[in-house]
Structure 1
């Protein structure tokens, strides 16, 4: 392990883990110095630390914290990151509003303290310029390499004690440059427009300045040669329970049970919550009792419909160390659970999600990566976490319960890692025969809320105001061409009324949560 201390955008000292000093390039940028060290020490962890944090750097736990080589970690105790919240005007993802109290997935890096394996720096040597600003360089590496499989985190455990130290903040010119170099061209225009609308700013100079820079994502950085073998031991007892909410899909559910029965690594319990709103009916799942299954089936029959309630009921019955969130209309190979356990062990993760594609759908990312979503029909989770999370019943029959559940996990410090090579087929079965279309309180409103209040509820819960502004702008343009109101001024007035109505009902949902 090599530790680089820096101050005033220059390296001040380099030492090894045994505290022997290492020579370095003086009067060069920090990025230049790091690449030089990466060449000299090709199989080392490389730590950077602001000189003011030298006494509180958590050297003792670094190997535990950075448990495999395809990670980059950093931490800034300040609520404001280098690029600032305005980056939310172009990116709506969960990686923008960072929870600084837990290990949180984000590509937003900090120069104050961090750690990366030197193999990552060597892999980016030809594709990412060694910027004079160290913060810009780190953010660029993470933004470019995250889709290629680099796992990026804000990690508070890097420091034994947290206190604020002055750190660089990107100017509006730098912000526009970053957008041009790391996003599609249209987002430069969107940023310019959003700053006019929501900030009453007109940064024409920064807007034009950005066009002098080339996009860095066009030069693909290959990280495939960097192997992952986590030192974390997250599996003690490789047992799996499966939870399946179902309603009116008897034949499809039977196929799911048959696929589970063929697993090379069998589940212990399959927990089925069957819903039917008809008060005078009984279960139609006769095969649960008429056939012999190689696992215990826990069957709950309820007249109360709703996937949130059903999953919460099932979660309360889990006994194994791990749980598989399944749908009642999926198909999968016999080695699914076995491959999942291998992936969990290799990466040392607590939550894994698979590819879940419909017929004639194709995956667009072939790298194991940090997922933007949590799929409640194709995800695997360590069961002890079920005591800390639940499906929000305020979102019952609406949209966003999966997103909310996944964000609850991330705000506990649990990342969701996607394994594209592990695949589940989603048949997207027709709606079950017992389902009743839900009626919401806002269904009779003369002006219908847009977006759905459940979507707005989740966005207000987890997004920053800049991300909500971005969403509003894109929603306006997305639906304009589908409206009967073609006059843009009249449509804007009507759209704002719909938006305010959505906010009203989102706040009502919040009161009841």
Structure 2
């Protein structure tokens, strides 16, 4: 391990694990020095650190933080980041509102303290730009590489507990912000950013906008596939797994799911089925649960209460194995599914993972295993110990957002969600089963219908930054105008504001 110490502007010294100086001749430019070190010391962990934090480095935690070679972690104890909050106007992913108390997946990177294996730098060196500030260099690297399979985190454990040192962050200028958006997002977003500045801050940012026109979007074609991932984290002990399946009126499809589970090379210990039928006096129609022999224990709950949130929580309360697979009653998969899932969990050292989840007519378009901001309740594996603190939120019942909220609870707990691009579950998207009743939403009779859905409003209010929520509001308003019967722009704006307020009102009622 090598520690690169800087003062925000230049390299000051290099240290070894014992914080003793290393005599290596390097450029004073921090990003250039990082690249030079990577060439001289391949397959080595490099920690960059502001001089104020040298004595606060938590060296005992580094091995557990960088438990495989494809991890970039940094930490900024300040509430101010290099990229100003206005980056939220154009970014729609759940990486910006960082939980500073625990490990949190995010491409937002800090020069205060952080680290990466030199193999990552060496693989990407031809596409890295050193003619920028070190903070810009780091955020650009993480923003582009996270979609290529680099696992990026805000990690408070890089510093010793009770570290009180705070270094003033040199925040990006408006010019740098517009440059970052132009180089890392589609070109249209610099225009949207300037509109947000005008609408929400009453500022005209013409010069930064025009200046950004002279730059092109940076290459997004990073390839880290050559870096073998072998996590040293002890994430699996018992290798036992339960499967939960909520079902309603799809007995034929559920039967096929059970047959797929019965053919697994690694069998589940329990399959937990929550069957719903809202007809009073009704009984279970899943006779084959008892008439056929199954190579696992089936825990069957029958309820007259409908709702996938309630059904999943009932099922999760019965989990006893180390891992749990969240399934659906119209899935199909091969006999290696569970074995492959646990193998990938072990490889990447994560507490939760998602599979490819496509309908039969759909084709896979993304082939990189890595972090993901999404979550799916029908194709996810999670460590069951997480269920001590998280569950599906009943506020989202009969609407949208419960899966995303569940995934965010996992991330806020200090764990991560990975997408496994080579493991597939086919989602048949079967016709709606019997006994489903259409639920009338509480706002269905409002003269002004809420926009967006109150549950989406609640989701974004909870997990978006203020600027992300405002950016989403403006984008939703612009897109909705295309399909609105109101063609007068001023009349439409007044109407949309009323819809947004009703959405806020009902989200508060849900909350």
User: 2:216 maps to what in 1?
Assistant: 214
User: 1:354 maps to what in 2?
Assistant: 355
- Write the distance in 1 (CA, Å) between the matches of 2:19 and 2:499: 62
Q: Give 1:20 shift.
A: 4.5
- Checking the alignment, whether the CA contact within 8 Å between 1:29 and 1:132 is kept in structure 2 is no
Question: Which string of whole-angstrom CA distances, capped at 9 and with x for unpartnered residues, describes residues 313-342 of structure 1?
Answer: 001100100000001111001000000011
> Helix, strand or coil for the counterpart of 1:441?
coil
- Checking the alignment, whether the CA contact within 8 Å between 2:105 and 2:153 is kept in structure 1 is yes
- Checking the alignment, whether the CA contact within 8 Å between 1:373 and 1:406 is kept in structure 2 is yes
**Structure 1 unmatched runs, 5+:** none
- Checking the alignment, whether the CA contact within 8 Å between 1:230 and 1:348 is kept in structure 2 is yes
The count of corresponding residues between Structure 1 and Structure 2 is 509
The answer to whether the aligner puts 1:253 opposite 2:248 as a matched pair is: no
- Write the distance in 1 (CA, Å) between the matches of 2:201 and 2:247: 47
- Write the distance in 2 (CA, Å) between the matches of 1:24 and 1:443: 69
> Helix, strand or coil for the counterpart of 2:403?
helix
Question: Which string of whole-angstrom CA distances, capped at 9 and with x for unpartnered residues, describes residues 104-128 of structure 1?
Answer: 0000000000010001111221111
> Helix, strand or coil for the counterpart of 1:317?
coil
Q: Give 1:24 shift.
A: 4.3
Q: How does 1:80-119 map to 2 (within 5 A)?
A: 80-119=80-119
Question: Which string of whole-angstrom CA distances, capped at 9 and with x for unpartnered residues, describes residues 419-464 of structure 1?
Answer: 0110110001111111001111100101110111011011111111
**11-20 vs 384-393, which moves further:** 11-20
Q: How does 1:271-350 map to 2 (within 5 A)?
A: 271-350=272-351
User: 2:51 maps to what in 1?
Assistant: 51
- Checking the alignment, whether the CA contact within 8 Å between 2:80 and 2:169 is kept in structure 1 is no
- Write the distance in 1 (CA, Å) between the matches of 2:435 and 2:60: 58
Q: Give 1:27 shift.
A: 5.8
- Write the distance in 1 (CA, Å) between the matches of 2:336 and 2:13: 51
- Checking the alignment, whether the CA contact within 8 Å between 1:128 and 1:216 is kept in structure 2 is no
- Write the distance in 1 (CA, Å) between the matches of 2:7 and 2:24: 14
User: 2:198 maps to what in 1?
Assistant: 196
Question: Which string of whole-angstrom CA distances, capped at 9 and with x for unpartnered residues, describes residues 241-284 of structure 1?
Answer: 00001111111111110100010000000000001111111001
- Checking the alignment, whether the CA contact within 8 Å between 2:247 and 2:276 is kept in structure 1 is yes
Q: Give 1:26 shift.
A: 5.5
- Checking the alignment, whether the CA contact within 8 Å between 2:81 and 2:169 is kept in structure 1 is no
The answer to whether the aligner puts 1:229 opposite 2:230 as a matched pair is: yes
- Write the distance in 1 (CA, Å) between the matches of 2:469 and 2:44: 41
Q: How does 1:485-504 map to 2 (within 5 A)?
A: 485-504=486-505
> Could you state the TM-score of these two structures normalised by the residue count of structure 1?
0.98
> Helix, strand or coil for the counterpart of 1:339?
helix
- Write the distance in 1 (CA, Å) between the matches of 2:238 and 2:214: 56
User: 2:377 maps to what in 1?
Assistant: 376
User: 1:427 maps to what in 2?
Assistant: 428
User: 1:437 maps to what in 2?
Assistant: 438
- Write the distance in 1 (CA, Å) between the matches of 2:393 and 2:20: 53
- Checking the alignment, whether the CA contact within 8 Å between 1:252 and 1:329 is kept in structure 2 is yes
> Helix, strand or coil for the counterpart of 2:299?
strand
> Helix, strand or coil for the counterpart of 2:415?
coil
Report the aligned-residue RMSD: 1.1
User: 2:472 maps to what in 1?
Assistant: 471
Runs ≥4 residues deviating over 6 A: none
Inter-CA distance 8–352: structure 2 relative to 1 (3 Å threshold)? closer
User: 2:403 maps to what in 1?
Assistant: 402
- Write the distance in 1 (CA, Å) between the matches of 2:149 and 2:329: 31
- Write the distance in 1 (CA, Å) between the matches of 2:155 and 2:90: 24
Q: Give 1:18 shift.
A: 4.4
**68-77 vs 53-62, which moves further:** 53-62
Q: Give 1:15 shift.
A: 1.7
User: 2:156 maps to what in 1?
Assistant: 156
- Checking the alignment, whether the CA contact within 8 Å between 1:30 and 1:132 is kept in structure 2 is no
- Write the distance in 2 (CA, Å) between the matches of 1:446 and 1:19: 67
- Checking the alignment, whether the CA contact within 8 Å between 2:27 and 2:33 is kept in structure 1 is no
User: 2:178 maps to what in 1?
Assistant: 176
- Write the distance in 2 (CA, Å) between the matches of 1:25 and 1:471: 48
> Helix, strand or coil for the counterpart of 1:216?
coil
- Write the distance in 2 (CA, Å) between the matches of 1:112 and 1:398: 42
- Checking the alignment, whether the CA contact within 8 Å between 1:353 and 1:419 is kept in structure 2 is yes
